[in-house]
Amino acid sequence: MLLEFTVENFRSFQKKTTISLIASSDQSLANNTSTCEALKEDRAVNSAVLYGANASGKSNLNLAMALLRNFVLQSHTIQKGNKLNYQPFAFDPESKKSPTTFEVVFVHKEIKYRYALSYNAERIEREELVHYPNGRPALIFSRNGQDFEFKKDQTEQKVISKRTLESGLYISSSVQFNYEGTANAYDWFLNNFAILETSDIRSLIEYAVESMNQNRKAKEEILKALHIADLGIVGVEGRIRQVPIHELQGRIPPQVLGAWMLMSGGEAKETEIKFKHQVKKKNGSSEEISLPIEMESEGTRRLFAIIYPIIEALHSGGTIAIDELDTKLHHEISAWIIDLFHDPVQNPKGAQLIFNTHDQQLLDLERFRRDQIWFAERDPSTGSSTLFSLAEFGERKDRDIQKAYQLGRYGAVPFIAPDKVV
């Protein structure tokens, strides 16, 4: 369960910016929130939607989450001297001298954690993990450069810290050395925090096929979802195989083929998927016809790519962030996905969905609480992005917020210059 995510000096986020999923005192739409023992009296919202103009920073928030997750999970593979993925705010020379900072507050297996990280292109400047086993903060570790502080298991942790590179994360290296004190927090990043990016559709499709082939229930759940979405699909089969790259000539763009040749040494993964459709013949009987995924609509491919990670989040009570949820999807399908997270029967473990969208039909206080609706806005004078919630406006519950947003009441909309001719 994600409570807060903070980013500073990353891409368009120059200043410290936080999106919070801690519910306000608003009593409306109680099914849109969840709680657990670690939260005491607080609750967390089950979804958060982010609106804003193009280039306002919406996708950069998703990228920040993805970078942090990948950093935690892959840091132990970084070799000494490797540059880190440092992308500071580009429009201020001073920002390029300052570290990027991420901070995340979450609950996993009934324990609350706060993990913070600051780094530049060469090294980790600050890293800290705190947990709240009895509702009070207790330090697991903190570091300032290569100076470490431990409050427990000091002998064991000191040995691990000596083996942690200045460019590597201690949370990652400690798990590789089987230190139990950081294992639960690391497990949240691994199994309960999923980030889907728009550009990831190929790898997501591969993951769906692998999941179907390894788990019969996964295939049944994916097929059921495609049926609910009214895509006319009654069956799906897929396989992934290694093929010589020359066999893909004419089927893959030459520039992509060339890049694969350089990276893979002559072989590439080929994913074959066929969707079965049932059609009626003139004599009244039915016939199943299989179509390759390339002949399906882009909406069908998009839903097939993202639906299983969504199902997994609902099963595990995890948090999933999706960049541009509505891409290629009909409004009703987007609404159905969101409503799954607001249904206590479908979402008994308090799973969370964070997404950005341009679909203004979703802006409805009968679907979202005010503390679930967020806006991203770019300062035209500095190029810096900020986030703010509808809850900050004290808006009435009977307000037509879709119309109010279109009229610019909350900002976060593009200003189209009067000159309409290019």
pLDDT tens-digit map of 36-48: 999 988 999 999 9
- Rounded CA-CA distance 306/65 in Å is 17
Relative to beta strand 286-292, strand 33-34 is: unpaired
What's the sign of the alpha-carbon dihedral 297, 299, 302, 307?
negative
Q: Is pLDDT at 93 greater than 70 in this prediction? A: yes
pLDDT tens track for 299-357: 999 999 999 999 999 999 999 999 999 999 999 999 999 999 999 999 999 999 999 99
Q: Is pLDDT at 96 greater than 90 in this prediction? A: yes
Residue among 335, 317, 414, 301 nearest 51 (CA): 414
pLDDT tens track for 195-232: 998 888 989 999 999 999 999 999 999 999 999 999 99
Residue position matching structure tokens 């879709």: 402
Question: Domain residue spans in the chain?
Answer: 1-192+317-415, 199-313
For the chain, report the end-to-end CA distance as a whole number of angstroms.
Answer: 47
CA-to-CA dists, residue 84 to 27, 119, 126, angstroms: 44, 8, 14
Residue among 271, 240, 245 nearest 258 (CA): 245
- Rounded CA-CA distance 321/65 in Å is 8
**To which H or E segment does residue 103 belong?**
strand 100-108
Residue position matching structure tokens 């809850």: 391
Q: What are phi and psi of 362, to 5 degrees?
A: -80, -15
Which two three-digit tokens encode residue 39? 């939260």
pLDDT band at residue 285 under the 50/70/90 scheme: confident
pLDDT of residue 7: 98
- Rounded CA-CA distance 27/378 in Å is 32
Task: Output the average pLDDT for the chain.
Answer: 94
3-state helix, strand, coil in the chain (%, to 5): 35, 30, 35
Residues whose CB is less than 8 angstroms from the CB of residue 395 and which lie 6 or more positions away in sequence, other chains included: 370, 401, 404
Instruction: Work out the average pLDDT over 238-250.
Output: 80
CATH T-level topology, domain 1-192+317-415: Rossmann fold (3.40.50)
pLDDT of residue 420: 59
CB 53 within 8 A of CB 360: no
pLDDT exceeding 90 applies to what percent of the chain?
85
| pTM score, whole prediction | 0.94
- Rounded CA-CA distance 223/243 in Å is 27
Instruction: Work out the average pLDDT over 279-286.
Output: 86
pLDDT of residue 251: 67
